[in-house]
Amino acid sequence: MKHICVVFRHAPFGATSSREGIDFALLSASFEQQLCLVFTDEAVLHLLADQQPELAGSKDYVSVFKAFDLYDIEHVLVCETSLQRFGLTLEDLAISAQLASSTVITEQLQQADEVLVF
Amino acid sequence: MMKKFIIQVNGPAYGSTSSYKALQYCQAVIAAGHQIEKVFFYQDGVTNSSSLNCPASDEVNLYQLWLRLANEHNVPLINCVSAALRRGVLSQQDAYESNKAHWNVDAPFVMGGLGELVTGIEQADRFVSF
């Protein structure tokens, strides 16, 4: 088992990298790796409620986020600075996530065996 | 001391230089006496495996360079099959199953699942992503 940190940096639906990153994260979790997900920059927008990915011709991979618990993905960090930049708070998010300062995110990256950025 | 590497290629065969850098990195890893456990192609990286890529004869042929790496150093080249199918990158078996008349992936490139990336990361000493 390895400690894998998956970092999301892109806005939803403009590119497909997040969708394929989520696929990787869920697969890693089902292979019983220790996972930490970090949403930063525009990727924090993935976590907003009431999204309609179909309107952008995208598969609804966002609703999968509610299943993170089922996959035993406990560590979901949201970059505090990025949220503030969009005028958002944790209450705006559709899933429960941990507000993280850049220091906390740095610690997670240092603790991880491998880091993947999508 | 020899280390085992797994390399992930996410960039396209043409349009960005990341795949070429990945290839050069693999060559450097081998030259330094280390081992490449596998090269895993994900996202747009799967386009590296298309035998239909036809760059002009005076340009770099990345497809041929991957083939040479695989043949000379016995490096497994593995596509994420889901990422590949979405992008029109199919093996003969995929073409048969999807009822298509054509395919563009042949050995030494093979189709595999994301699980092979995860187990590869687990077994390798170093994971490097391009």
CATH number reported for the structural domain that contains residue A14 in this entry: 3.40.1260.10
* A53-57, A112-116, B90-94, B115-119: segment of lowest average pLDDT: A53-57
Query: Domain count of chain B?
Result: 1
Complex confidence, ipTM: 0.90
Contact state of B122 with A27 under an 8 Å Cβ cutoff: no
SS3 content of chain B, % helix, strand, coil (to 5): 40, 20, 35
The per-residue pLDDT for A19 is 93
In a domain, A108, yes or no: yes
Active site (annotated) includes residue B80: yes
Domain holding A68, by residue range, is 3-49+60-117
Query: Domain count of chain A?
Result: 1
Structure tokens at A49: 């409620």
Domain holding B53, by residue range, is 4-129
Tens digits of residue pLDDT in B25-57 = 999 999 999 999 999 999 999 999 999 999 999
B119 in A contact zone (CB under 8 Å): yes
Q: A60 pLDDT band (50/70/90 cuts)? A: confident
Residue appearing with tokens 């403009």: A14
CATH of residue B70: 3.40.1260.10
- A49 vs A45, more confident: A45
pLDDT at A4 over 90: yes
A117 in B contact zone (CB under 8 Å): yes
Tens digits of residue pLDDT in B65-96 = 999 999 999 999 999 999 999 999 999 999 99
User: How many CB atoms lie under 10 A from the CB of residue A37?
Assistant: 24
SS3 content of chain A, % helix, strand, coil (to 5): 40, 20, 35
Distances (CA, A) of B71 to A15, B67, B84, B89, B91: 34, 6, 22, 21, 19
Residues from chain B that touch A35, judged by Cβ atoms under 8 A, are: none
Residues from chain A that touch B43, judged by Cβ atoms under 8 A, are: 16-17, 20
pLDDT at A69 over 90: no
Q: What is the CA radius of gyration of chain A?
A: 13
